[in-house]
A = this chain, B = another copy of it.
Amino acid sequence: MAKNKKQNKKELADMEENFPQWYTDVISKTEMVDYSPVKGFMVIRPYGYAIWENIQKEFDKRFKATGHQNMYFPLLIPKSMLEKEAEHVEGFAPEVAWVTKGGDKELNEPLAVRPTSETIICSMYAKWLHSYRQLPFLYNQWCSVVRWEKTTRPFLRTSEFLWQEGHTLHETAEEAQAETMQMLNIYREVAEEVLAIPMLTGRKSDKEKFAGADATYTIEALMHDGQALQSGTSHNLGQHFTKAFEIQYLDRNNEQSYPYHTSWGVSSRLIGGLIMVHGDENGLVLPPKIAPVQIVIIPVAQHKEGVLDKAYELKKILEQNYRVELDDSDNSPGWKFNQWEMKGVPIRLEIGPRDIENGQAVLARRDTSEKITVALDEVGTQAGDLLDAIQKNLFEKALKMREEKTSSAENMDEFQEKLAENPGFIKAMWCGDRACEDQIKEQTGASLRAVPFDEEQEIIGDGTCVCCGKPAEKVAWFARAY
């Protein structure tokens, strides 16, 4: 193992010294993603896309289990339509890509490549909704969106990314709020239970909320380098869009009413989070539930009689329950160990002539490097137990990391010191004023990530705002962020 570590270390930048370079090395060496010829756009390669497909499946089944259906809306949105909700257009206009020509003809009106689809979806909802009997509308769309970004990094911030956007309508404000929270909880559930990433949940400040929302709720993760990653958002849009788009229906009292509206999204950015939370000096570390390959079988001395046969036999047994790969390429076992370690496969199964003689195989864990020898007829159950243990361990490790990188501060000096000493989340009382939020950002580079929900509220120090010293009712979590 020592040798492998050294080799991978040579392939990757040191993650403690140069985390951005380590990230770039990992995503390219694992062939997850590549830079495209169009600046700011990425190509998602098969290994990265397989992770996205697994993420999609996990969310999609939960969306459907809670009554949502998928649809597909046009990629292009007329300029006038994007402009109907004032805050919305102000928020998105600076980053829109515009189609101005179709074939040889200039268009009469420029069309926006969708940066998000509230406007075009609302224009159709206005046509479809007539009666309260039709409500709620519970719809979702899987697609890509384009936002013209100046500084880009694959998965984390690109001019095009893959995502889902849910768009729902409800009779009452209470139902819309319940939907907003339900979807936030589904986001947290998948993030924590499948991706093994602990999430801070809470409400965004007005400064950080979605352009056109009453309230935005967020799941926020902490990366290895102490920076936060906004990983999913759920918006209660109130009646902003339903009024702007004249979505009216005959309510239970036989009167025309505007419905209440939510939208919510997660994106391929989650893959960036996976990499930066679990990765180590040897590359990617994937939670078993999301790994495209859960077990890689590496035959040792594969030219010897019976080795490949036995390896294929094990593969056949294991792939009834797990996603399994057998690497029978001409490369040396050591080279294969490194490659699959780099790719973050949770379990490596080694099988050689001596193992076969002894009726055993070796299982090596990616997360702890621990090796166990197991009887061949127990490989299936042992591997299953090990995958569960790895899944659990990765979450616990990530939670411990977050706890170690979370400090609290009672004043700005302390805020800056702690953030410098131990980059991560800073919990601090906040009076609720935009001015204080702006000043904190300016002085420290940390933005307000979320105001936790009441049940997770606490009082830091004497309960006064970390910035202005006035009485503050709530704690907020701050961090530098991707």
Contact = CB atoms under 8 A, between A and B. Distances in A.
Interface in A87-111: 93-104, 110-111
Interface string A59-86: 0000000000111111111100100000
A52 B49 CA distance: 20
Given A104-B94, A110-B101, A113-B99, A49 B74 contact: no
Contacts of A102: 96-98, 148, 159
A327 to B, nearest CB: 13
Contacts of A111: 38, 97
A43 interface: yes
Interface in A41-67: 41-46, 49-50, 52-53
A144 interface: yes
Question: Which of A72, A139, A148 is most buried by chain B, counting CB atoms within 10 A of its CB?
Answer: A72
Contact of A75 (B74, B128, B146): B146
A123 interface: yes
A355 interface: no
A124 interface: yes
A216 to B, nearest CB: 23
Given A94-B104, A101-B97, A49 B37 contact: no
Nearest to A161: B72
A329 to B, nearest CB: 8
Contact of A38 (B52, B53, B77, B94): B77
B50 A69 contact: yes
Contacts of A120: 36-38
Interface string A1-43: 0000000000000000000000000000000001011100111
B97 A34 contact: no
A44 B72 contact: yes
A316 interface: no
Contacts of A110: 101
9 closest cross-chain pairs (CB), A and B: A46-B69, A41-B74, A98-B101, A102-B148, A44-B72, A103-B148, A100-B100, A36-B74, A97-B99
A135 interface: no
How many monomers of this chain does the complex have? 2
A98 B97 contact: no
A162 interface: yes
A95 B104 CA distance: 8
Interface string A110-131: 1101000000100110011000
Nearest to A73: B43
A293 to B, nearest CB: 12
A43 B113 contact: no
Contact of A42 (B46, B74, B94): B74
A160 interface: yes
A75 B113 contact: yes
Given A69-B50, A71-B45, A37 B98 contact: no
A43 B120 CA distance: 10
27 contacts: A37-B78, A37-B120, A38-B74, A38-B77, A38-B78, A41-B74, A41-B75, A42-B74, A43-B72, A44-B72, A46-B71, A46-B139, A49-B72, A52-B72, A75-B75, A75-B113, A75-B146, A76-B160, A93-B103, A94-B103, A97-B111, A98-B101, A98-B102, A99-B99, A100-B100, A102-B148, A102-B159
Interface string A132-156: 0000000100011010100000000
